[in-house]
Amino acid sequence: MTRLSQSIALLAPFILCSSWALAQEGPGLAANYPNDEGLADDPAVLYFLDFNDEAETMAWSQGVTGYGWTSEPAHVFNGSGALEISQTVGTHDPYEIHPEIAETDIAYVRWYRKWQPGYDFTQHKMSGVYAKSPDATGAGEIPTGYDKYSCKLYVDFDRHPRFYTYHPEQDGIYGDAPHMNLVDPPIAVEADRWYCFEMMIKANTVGEHDGELKMWIDGQLVGHIEGMRFRDTDELKINEFTYSAYVGGNWTSEQDQQLWDDQIVVATEYIGPLSTGSGGGSSTSTSSSSTSSSGTGAGGSGGDTNSASNYRTDDGGCGCRTAGGGERNWTALLLLTALAGLGLRRRGSDADRRV
């Protein structure tokens, strides 16, 4: 066996392991429910909002200033209605809504959002989840490991979506704001088009720094933060969904403006973009505009891009598992086949030279 063939034989398990780890998130729950129909009844779903009914939407918003409803097709991503948010110059409106959800150690939150043309992205908050004990403190208080932790997304002044997370080891009294770390340069969002956002938070094992955060934009994993410590007791679990279009911090809205949200889902598994039901495809935008990242688009798979050595699952070992309980990454298999063929041809060439 040539050195190349020996190298292929040694690397083959790692190549396959890494390729399966890349796809470990799978196509997502939404792939099984075209147009999200029936998704609310999936056992993994903790909370679901499609905003198709005006009365239900307004009851959910509890009369909070800035919350409305629209059936205008240009502002509805799917179905017959969408949440319409109105921000008022000089205010933080609208304030957040915090419905309770069933307790969990891992949560995925997916939603669609579109901003009006000319939108001003001043300290723009987005949705997420909280873990809160009955005596949890509010904003501006560092978590103790026993009272609270959280993660939501927000858009910074440069239009880059970022994590916003409260945890016991944060740098200051307000939450940390890690950047997306899997695309370079970072994606800058644009107004007047729909985006599919999804975030994940996984609580750490008590005594370990193995908590995680993930962010997807239009189905592409763009951020993965590992080594987090969120809690020091197993009793502190994620128990609250946070809807947010809040202008936060010391800032207020620079102008009267609007945005629209649709198809919000909270689940214990990766959700993924809404499926169109045509050939298993997904729908990420109703606009022809593409995600801006100065050269890096966001429209790929929902799979993890970390190597198997950096990502573990409950299965142990390298953390490899096949998506959907049996799918395989045929690209990796073809690559191995091609490399093996190259090794055989090289061995033949070496034999010819020896003759």
How deeply is 43 buried, as exposed, middle or buried, from its count of CB atoms within 10 A (0-12, 13-18, 19+)? exposed
Q: Dump pLDDT digits (tens) for 230-248.
A: 999 999 999 999 999 999 8
User: Are 141 and 226 within 8 A, CB to CB?
Assistant: no
The per-residue pLDDT for 281 is: 56
- Give dist(CA 243, CA 197) in Å, integer: 13
Tell me, rounded to whole angstroms, the distance of Cα 219 from its chain centroid: 8
Q: Determine how many CB atoms are found less than 10 A away from the CB of residue 145.
A: 18
The per-residue pLDDT for 317 is: 26
The per-residue pLDDT for 19 is: 36
* C-alpha pair distances (Å), 192 with each of 107, 186, 259: 29, 19, 9
The per-residue pLDDT for 250 is: 86
Torsions phi, psi for 153 (to 5 deg)? -105, 155
The per-residue pLDDT for 79 is: 98
Ranges under pLDDT 50 in the chain: 1-24, 280, 286-355
Please report the sign of the dihedral spanned by the C-alpha atoms of residue 139, residue 140, residue 145, residue 151.
positive
Which pTM does this prediction carry? 0.76
